[in-house]
Structure 1
Amino acid sequence: MEAVFSVLVGVFFSVAIYLMLSRHSVRVLLGVAILGNAVNLLLFAAGRLTRAVPPIISANEDVLAPSAANPLPQALILTAIVISFCFFCFLLVLVWRAFRELKTDDTNEMRAAEPQREPLPPLGY
């Protein structure tokens, strides 16, 4: 099961990087969302994938069973899901506003905020 998750995490990371290197802001937005999911799957796979024993301490035990899944990555994943969703919503509004103002989603054409390039003075005397 870990091998399947490892391959899936690798595919998600490579697709996310490919999309984030694009010129179009919608593809960059999707790449960021996929990257967040890849990190969540990586954390999930790092916490021992097992269906045998859930990470619950029963009433007659004092400690967690050694064969149980690690509960810490699961808590980290819940936090990461909330953070990545908020970041995705912020980027979605940012891309939508940029498209509405500039009428393009091409990041190379979004140069309105940059100062105009002035010609350099001559180098010689």
Structure 2
Amino acid sequence: MIDLLASRIYYLVAFSLLGVGTYMMIGNQNLVKKVIGMNIFQTGIFLFFIVTAFVEGGSPPLLTAPEPHVSPLPHVLILTAIVVGVSLTAVALGLIVRIYNEYGTLNEEAIQKVTTDE
């Protein structure tokens, strides 16, 4: 059992990151902490994809390389997802700055209270 957990430690870390990120997005009322939770969740997804793409004894996919080959597709997808994640974070933080300038708080409940009173 211990050997199985030790060989799958990256999966445990990935799912732990997914859990922490989900908890931060749902459990916090602060908008900046929600964005941080979203980034932690994304990191868990990135780690999961990279871990599942690992091939023991794999080589680069060249014509002269022996079997088995490692697919470069998951790595390319993760690079693209990192760029999209950074862009999403920048837009979210820009919106948070505008929300703070408008309402003077980053607490989600306070913002909802102000918007329902108007």
TM-score by length of 2: 0.81
**Contact persistence 1:17–1:31 (CA under 8 A):** yes
**Contact persistence 1:104–1:110 (CA under 8 A):** yes
Give the structure 2 partner of residue 123 of structure 1.
Answer: none
Which string of whole-angstrom CA distances, capped at 9 and with x for unpartnered residues, describes residues 61-84 of structure 1?
A: 2xx643232211011111111111
Give the structure 1 partner of residue 3 of structure 2.
Answer: none
Q: In structure 1, which of residues 16, 39, 49 is the aligned counterpart of residue 45 of structure 2? A: 39
More helix by share: 2
TM-aligned CA deviation for residue 49 of structure 1: 4.7
CA distance in 1, matches of 2:89, 2:53: 25
CA distance in 1, matches of 2:30, 2:86: 21
**Distance change (3 Å), C-alpha of 1:4 and 1:23:** same
TM-score by length of 1: 0.77
Tell me if 1:10 matches 2:15: yes
**Distance change (3 Å), C-alpha of 1:8 and 1:49:** farther
CA distance in 2, matches of 1:115, 1:66: 66
Unaligned runs of 5+ in 2: 1-5
Percent of aligned pairs sharing the same letter: 21
Q: Which has the larger radius of gyration?
A: 1
The number of equivalent residue pairs is 111
Give the structure 1 partner of residue 95 of structure 2.
Answer: 94
RMSD: 2.1
Unaligned runs of 5+ in 1: 117-125
TM-aligned CA deviation for residue 113 of structure 1: 4.1
